[in-house]
Amino acid sequence: MNKNSELTKGVITSNDLYDTKEETYNNKDVNYWRGFRELYNDPEFRKEVESEFDDDAGKPFDTSKLSAISRRKFLALLSASAAVAAAGCSNYRDKGEIVPFNQKPENLVEGNPNYFASTFQIGGEEIGVLVKSREGRPIKVNGNPEHPVSKGKANLAAQATVLALYDPDRIREPKASSDKNSFSTIQWNDADAKIIETLRAATTAGKEISIFTSSVISPTQRKLFDDFIQQFPTTKIYPFEQVNNSVKNSAWNKIYGQNIAPAVKWDEAKVIVALECDFLGLEDGKTEAMRLFAKNRDLINNPDNYSRLYSIEGSTSLTGLNSDYRLRLRTDAIEELILALVNEFGVKRGGSALSLESGIVSKVSSFNINAVAEKYGLDKEVIGHLVKDLDANRGTSIFVAGASLPESTQISTYLLNEILGNTKLYSFDFKQDLTPLSTTAELADLSGKMKGGQVGVFINFDSNPVFDLPRNLGMAEAIMNVETVISFTEIDNETSIKSNYVLPCNNPLESWGDYNSRISYFGLQQPLIAPLFNTRQKEAVMLNWMRGGNNFNESIYHQYLKDNWQQNLYPILNASASFNDFWFDALHDGFVLLPSQTQESLQFNQSAVIQAQPIKPSGGKVVLLTRNYTLGDGKYSNNGWLQELPHPVSKIVWDNYAAISLATAKANGLDSNDLVNVSIGDRTVTLPVFVQPSMADDVIAIELGCGRSSGGKVSEGTGFDVVPLIGNDGISPWVYNNASISKATGTYELVSTQEHYPIDSPKFKDIQFKRRIIQQGTYKQFKSNPKDIVDRVEVEGIDLREFPSINGEPIKYTGVKWAMAIDLNKCTGCGECIMSCNVENNIPVVGKDQVANKRAMQWIRLDRYYFGTPEDARANFQPMLCQHCDFAPCENVCPVVATTHSEDGLNGMTYNRCVGTRYCANNCPYKVRRFNYFNFRHEFKDYHYHNDSMQLAMNPEVTVRSRGVMEKCTFCVQRVMKARQDAISANRELKGTDVITACQEACPANAITFGDMNDKSDPIQAYRNSDIAFYSLEEVKVRPNVTYISQIFNIEEEIPKAGHHND
Amino acid sequence: MSFDSTYTRELPLVPERSSFKEIDDVIFRPVEEAPTRKWFIAITISSLALMIGAVALANTFYFGIGTWGNNSTVGWGFGIVNFVFWIGIGHAGTLISAILYLFRQRWRTGIARFAEAMTIFAVITAGIFPVIHTGRPWLAAYLIPYPNQNSIWVNFNSPLLWDVFAVSTYFTISFVFWSVGLIPDIAAMRDRASGIKKRIYTVLSLGWRNSNRHWQHYERAYLILAGLSTPLVLSVHTIVSFDFAVAILPGWHTTIFPPYFVAGAIFSGFGMVATVLIILRKVYDMEHIITLDHLEKMCKILLATGSMVGYAYCMEFFMAWYSGYIFEQFVFINRAFGPYAWAYWTMFSCNVIFPQLFWFKKIRRNIPIMMLLVILVNVGMWFERFVIVVTSLHRDFLPSSWAMFYPTWTDLALLLGSFGFFFTCVLLFVKVLPSISLAELKAVTENAQPTHKHHH
């Protein structure tokens, strides 16, 4: 015992206990003893007792024997190792950085979006847009609601600009090449200095400086070019659009002596006859046309005016499928029918609004409606209706010829409108381009000069002449003969890779600009974000060159634009505000209205009609080249969203094809996916064929804009380049009637989002009606007995809402209950809603192979059903999205409660909880659930859209879904929640109209209504209570919350009715 | 095994009068002897298949379910087909060991152990698929109802959750039943073994000393477990069928599914047991223990269950027509005449038409023909599940979303891998444990029977 040891102080040991009991042992209490040895106090026993807890237990601590690790140290090590283990197990979820603002920008509240008005140039058109910006990042482009033309609707390419801005393929640094082949990065200053030197040298040597650009519709850009020409007088501007309105305009010019053909007041027309004119799909101004057209296709708000649309066309266009009556007629024969109608209304019947000169009378005398109908097998009943309607609606009917039709057809069409007195339906709010588009002769001249070395500098002003120009101009070789080729571009293209300088230019969302393509207003473009990469605005770069090259800063074009407005626009407006106020107002609005101008009266020049040589249909096949529905002339072909948007008619993605009719396919032994050679003269293109219902026989419709050879990673290997078919021997630059088609070896898989089945076999015929997916009727029925149109499924006397749900107490929905209504009469199937949904909800691009596997991720499907015969099929379009069923069959089968119903009627998805059994998708009768079979951002083109810049494109309000998770339309729950928040903070009731879903926002025809079905004053009530409202697949009794308005065709004949009463 | 006092003489189940020692030797031979060449060849093939499956599984885990043929329309493919197929295979074991045991069908003794082992392996094989077919298998624990601070509970309305319970219960009970049955035999092996083997078998035999009391308890436990297992034979596949029957999808939403699936499961299970036994008795010279009589009885069960399945097939068509529900009518027309008609008619002929040959005794006792037919049964039953899963999904309500399902190499490799896994397990089993219940078998040999003097 070492009682003095410091360590044992205060520690009670067994020895202490025994010590205190010493007396007990000494005091031999004979009354209490445990054994004799104790009784006799045996020393051995005492020792044993003392060391009862043997070894060291009874002894004081010997620190040297203790473990070197103390309790504290042990705990410290334990926690440290736990921390190491925890840190070592990395979280599979993506990590990001959160960086606070050092200096908070004005008017920016984190988490709240800011909206900026701007204007984009898409092809030759300007689109007034409103851009949503979050924390400085533009994330969504909508139409500008206050804009006189956009009225809140953008178009596909404008919406997809968000992806273009963050496109990982954008060129990040200027680069230069001496041999137009191998490039190296160059500093802007060096490039500028060298280029200025070249420009000066070219001017001195008298060599041309060619600027090749798309349509010039920007006044300040035009001024820039003028100033540039002053500085470098040998400059020449070549504006070019691959598909344009030049034929239409020149025909108008010949007749009325004005340079620009008018548009149509679609909303005032009672009878519209579209001649190869896809005004709802491919023509310029389609967004406005859809909005105006839909006004008279609105049976809920405007039941007494219902226009009738005739389409006379060779290809199957979106407009054709939306028309009430459709005549299939090869494109080069349309003029015969028009001339026959001119003969009918201008000569045979009285009442012509224009007295025809004898030259015209004799010209048209040989054309007779019945004969034309006979010749081309046109439906005589439809012709009869047409003639009757035209007669009854003089002054309120309109013929519109597609921009691709030849000049003589255009002239005849204008004549017919004049005869019928329809000219007041023309809308003159259009201005011709500020620099006329180059003619074919001018372009040929340019090519010749380039080849001949007379062009010193060729500036490709964000265009792509090598790909876009007709190949017989030999641009690819010509460009190699030019000393210095400068390309402004965002993404490398066929021209830039053959340039000496590739100067990366700003995206429209990074640029300043102004536009004036209409008489009534000026559009203003403003940047939403500083350039993401080392890019510059192309106009600013030019300005810098003009000014000697040393004073570039980001605002020089901004200042130039402002100055131009101050000098040239501000004075004519007679505004009372100061220029500064005016300027900021304009920036805020995105446009400036101009004083109205009086339209000079039209003088019809009949001699132009007499001079025009009517088109003679040939025995050959007709090739109709159109712009690409999504990609335009191919400029947007590196945009995955646009590539993957199903073609509204064929539902094909990622490719173009030769569309032919069933009879033409049979006659040539062809089937869809067969490769064919399409030849015009000595020009041949090989591409796959697609048998498209309703095509006119012997017509081959092909979209341009595909098959880019150097258009970025996304466009690689997509589609077929058909520009080589363009030549000088067409009846117009886009229509050829001397073509032939022959089978080539092999096949090519075209991928469509909808399976094809024979629509005329008894198994599938009218299946959309038998299954009550679509309900339809005629306007006649609607007027006489609207209740008769919808075939309802009634369970007598039972309200299914009262049925107990197997999910326990049914939700009572006492507050707001969300519902959607889609008017199938206004919906044209254009696909803008899909694009808007893609952008809003961070929907990944999956690629052609995955669409082929039926794994497209778009939350909205635009279902297209044909009825009738494959030769002359009609179609129904139906946007199909999550129906947010009251008895959602997906909900009760999810084992982990990842999909549930909210108290405001939404069917929600909890991504974090989803394990991905896919049972919900199987049990969904509408098949609107989408499963992330891969992490598509990794899967698509080897992480292409996983790039850093793409992260900026994501909507921060919407979770980016990982692999293995189910997703589907949420009714834009993030917008619902935002509206709810706003209502709460403003201390007011949440109204149904507070929420606008992304699809609704983008729909050019306003076919989608979203609101609160429990609010009797909500506009959605009119739809839900309509006699012609129906639920798709009502029979399945899942109580969907998307109401569809029956499709009503304005025709006289009977039409297949829904229900399976015919079986 | 248990004897009842009212024993009457039947045809001998083990025809030859083998001594107990001989039986021991025959049954333990595969375990005790060094693996034969045949065994090595067999396990090489099966483990190769297993490895191919493992590669496919790694591929699935690395890239996602996208490596399979499933798509937005056909959300379930080979994963669920294989799951239901293997669960079905697992049914014969419990039926043979539990229900036939309760019904005192002594002919089961020769095949019961093996069938039980197959059940275990088939259920394990089956159990792999629901886990790997999910998009995020690492979150599979979400299917287990465990208390958590988020108060998220599982969805007891979902048949998939019922599956979790049904399959795990089935596996647990089957495993316990099989393990308990093994105890006396393991003890017997312990007594013969030496070295490390002896130590392992000693542990596994749980101190079995063949005492009368042990036997009494054992018999009682076995009987109780048999009683517990019996309803599971019916319930498991009933619940698996609910995966489909509870859905609103035409072709799935059918009340006939529970009995139809149970009959099909027994059908396929017997098919697989017969397939494997025919090979096994040949390889290990056990023809005198697993006799032709056994196989013939199994053929009769195959005939009966095959006909039940055939009835169900036809009844589905009748109901589709009778319901007046055009979606359902279309599904069945599409099954028989649509793009997957080849799968439907493969199923129909393998499951309904060919087993009808078992009406003939000559065929029931002809091993090569029997072998062919039982393999066809396996094929047919796999296709049955394929037909149910894929053809119902691929063309359902909206024609706009109709799609085809094409398996990928990963799908095929996983199917192959599942067979590899199963047969590897079977081969390892026959190498380390007695594949025939020694104790039960001895009880039905001639030597074990009450005898009369004049026989000796």
Distances (CA, A) of A1058 to A696, A793, A1040, B396: 28, 11, 18, 18
pLDDT at B276: 85
Distance CA A714, CA A725 (A): 24
Distances (CA, A) of B392 to A536, A916, A922, B69, B330: 57, 20, 10, 16, 10
Distance CA A530, CA A288 (A): 31
**Residue carrying structure tokens 């109908």:** A373
Spell out the alpha helix ranges (H) of A595-738: 606-611, 640-644, 662-667
Distance CA A467, CA A705 (A): 9
Beta-strand (E) ranges in B252-337? none
Residues belonging to chain A: 1063
Q: Please report the number of interchain residue pairs, chain A to chain B, with beta-carbon separation below 8 angstroms.
A: 184
Contacts of A977 (CB under 8 A, 6+ apart): none
Distance from CA of A890 to the nearest CA of B (A): 9
Tokens of B36: 């034969």
**Residue A629 near residue A653 (C-beta atoms within 8 A):** no
| Band (A96; pLDDT cuts 50, 70, 90) | low
Distance CA A861, CA A930 (A): 11
| Band (A1057; pLDDT cuts 50, 70, 90) | confident
Residues of A in contact with B393 (CB under 8 A): 922
- Out of A490-499, A666-675, A935-944, B435-444, pick the least confident: B435-444
Per-position DSSP letters for B380-401, written without gaps between them: HHHHHHHIIIIIHHHT-S-GGG
Which chain A residues in 939-978 lie under 8 Å from chain B, judged by CB atoms? 939, 962-966
Q: Please name every residue paired with A931 in a beta bridge, in sequence order, or none if there are none.
A: A966
* pLDDT exceeds 60 at position B391: yes
Looking at this protein, which amino acid is placed at residue A651?
Answer: K
| Band (B5; pLDDT cuts 50, 70, 90) | very low
- Mean pLDDT confidence for A154-166: 91
Distance CA B391, CA B410 (A): 20
Tokens of A533: 């990469």
pLDDT at B447: 66
| Band (B17; pLDDT cuts 50, 70, 90) | low
pLDDT at A116: 93
- Out of A942-946, A999-1003, B351-355, B452-456, pick the least confident: B452-456
Angle at A379 between CA A377 and CA A384, to 5 degrees: 130
User: Domain residue spans in chain B?
Assistant: 20-451
pLDDT at A803: 64
Burial class (CB in 10 A: 0-12, 13-18, 19+), A93: exposed
pLDDT at A800: 62
Domain boundaries A815-1049, corresponding CATH code: 3.30.70.20
pLDDT at A262: 85
pLDDT at A924: 93
Element (H, E) at A487: strand A484-489
pLDDT at B9: 47
| Band (A61; pLDDT cuts 50, 70, 90) | low
* pLDDT exceeds 90 at position A832: yes
How far, in whole angstroms, is CA B141 from its chain's centroid?
26
**Residue B381 near residue B12 (C-beta atoms within 8 A):** no
Distance CA A5, CA A63 (A): 11
**Residue carrying structure tokens 């280029």:** A195
| Band (B431; pLDDT cuts 50, 70, 90) | confident
Work out whether the CA dihedral A276, A280, A285, A291 comes out positive or negative: positive
* pLDDT exceeds 70 at position B109: yes
**Residue A914 near residue A966 (C-beta atoms within 8 A):** yes
pLDDT at B453: 54
**Residue carrying structure tokens 């008895």:** A887
| Mean pLDDT of the residues in chain A | 86
Work out whether the CA dihedral A727, A733, A737, A739 comes out positive or negative: positive
Distances (CA, A) of B231 to B124, B225, B305: 20, 11, 18
Condensed to tens digits (0 to 9), the pLDDT of residues B121-164 reads 999 999 999 999 999 999 988 888 888 887 888 888 899 999 89
Tokens of A906: 């939404």
Q: Which residue has the higher pLDDT, B265 or A66?
A: B265
Residues of B in contact with A850 (CB under 8 A): 66
- Mean pLDDT confidence for A291-299: 91
**Residue carrying structure tokens 């005849």:** A412
Among the partner residues B137, B160, B397, nearest to A925 by beta-carbon distance: B397
pLDDT at A1060: 65
A923 contacts B72? CB cut-off 8 A: no
Buried b / exposed e along A815-848 (16+ C-beta atoms within 10 A): ebbbbbbbbbbbbbbbbbbbbbbbbbbbbbbbbb
Element (H, E) at B361: helix B361-364
Domain A618-752 has CATH 2.40.40.20: yes
Distance from CA of B313 to the nearest CA of A (A): 22
Which chain B residues in 209-268 lie under 8 Å from chain A, judged by CB atoms? 243, 246-249
A892 contacts B157? CB cut-off 8 A: yes
* pLDDT exceeds 80 at position A758: no
Q: Which residue has the higher pLDDT, B434 or B13?
A: B434
pLDDT at A8: 45
Burial class (CB in 10 A: 0-12, 13-18, 19+), A882: buried
The three-class DSSP label of residue A379 is coil
pLDDT at A945: 83
How far, in whole angstroms, is CA B189 from its chain's centroid?
27
Beta-strand (E) ranges in A794-949? 818-823, 861-868, 873-880, 899-901, 907-909, 930-931
* pLDDT exceeds 70 at position A230: yes
Looking at this protein, which amino acid is placed at residue A848?
Answer: K
Nearest residue on chain B to A770, judged by CA atoms?
B326
Which chain B residues in 64-93 lie under 8 Å from chain A, judged by CB atoms? 64-66, 68-76
Listed residue (A57, A97, A325, A134) closest to A957, CA to CA: A134
B69 contacts A915? CB cut-off 8 A: no
* pLDDT exceeds 80 at position A421: yes
Tokens of A754: 């909808």
In terms of phi and psi (left: phi > 0; alpha: psi -120 to 50; beta: otherwise), the region of B195 is left
Element (H, E) at A309: strand A308-313
CB atoms within 10 A of CB A222: 18
Tokens of A36: 């004799």
Burial class (CB in 10 A: 0-12, 13-18, 19+), B325: middle
Spell out the alpha helix ranges (H) of B33-77: 37-63
| Mean pLDDT of the residues in chain B | 86
Q: Does B371 touch chain A (CB under 8 A)?
A: no
* pLDDT exceeds 80 at position A16: no
**Residue A666 near residue A644 (C-beta atoms within 8 A):** no
pLDDT at B382: 92
How far, in whole angstroms, is CA B299 from its chain's centroid?
16
- For chain A, percent of residues with pLDDT exceeding 90: 43
- Out of A10-24, A692-706, A835-849, B361-375, pick the least confident: A10-24
Condensed to tens digits (0 to 9), the pLDDT of residues B291-308 reads 888 888 889 989 999 999
Distances (CA, A) of A1026 to A772, A1021, A1045: 17, 8, 8
Condensed to tens digits (0 to 9), the pLDDT of residues A773-803 reads 999 999 998 999 888 888 887 766 666 666 6
Distance from CA of A862 to the nearest CA of B (A): 9
- Mean pLDDT confidence for A103-131: 87
* pLDDT exceeds 60 at position A17: no
pLDDT at A238: 92
Residues belonging to chain B: 456
A515 DSSP 8-state letter = E
pLDDT at A10: 47
pLDDT at A798: 66
pLDDT at B446: 67
* pLDDT exceeds 60 at position A26: no
User: Domain residue spans in chain A?
Assistant: 6-65, 246-427, 618-752, 815-1049
CB atoms within 10 A of CB B359: 12
| Band (B6; pLDDT cuts 50, 70, 90) | very low
**Residue carrying structure tokens 């635009």:** A862
Contacts of A978 (CB under 8 A, 6+ apart): A957
Q: Does A864 touch chain B (CB under 8 A)?
A: yes
Tokens of A538: 């192309």
Condensed to tens digits (0 to 9), the pLDDT of residues B350-388 reads 999 999 999 998 888 888 999 999 999 999 999 999 999
Q: Which CATH class is domain A246-427?
A: alpha beta
Distance CA B251, CA B334 (A): 10
Distance CA A419, CA B449 (A): 114
Which chain A residues in 802-831 lie under 8 Å from chain B, judged by CB atoms? 806-807
Which chain A residues in 994-1033 lie under 8 Å from chain B, judged by CB atoms? 1032-1033
- Out of A70-79, A113-122, A721-730, pick the least confident: A70-79
Condensed to tens digits (0 to 9), the pLDDT of residues A1013-1052 reads 999 999 999 999 998 999 998 888 888 999 999 999 999 8
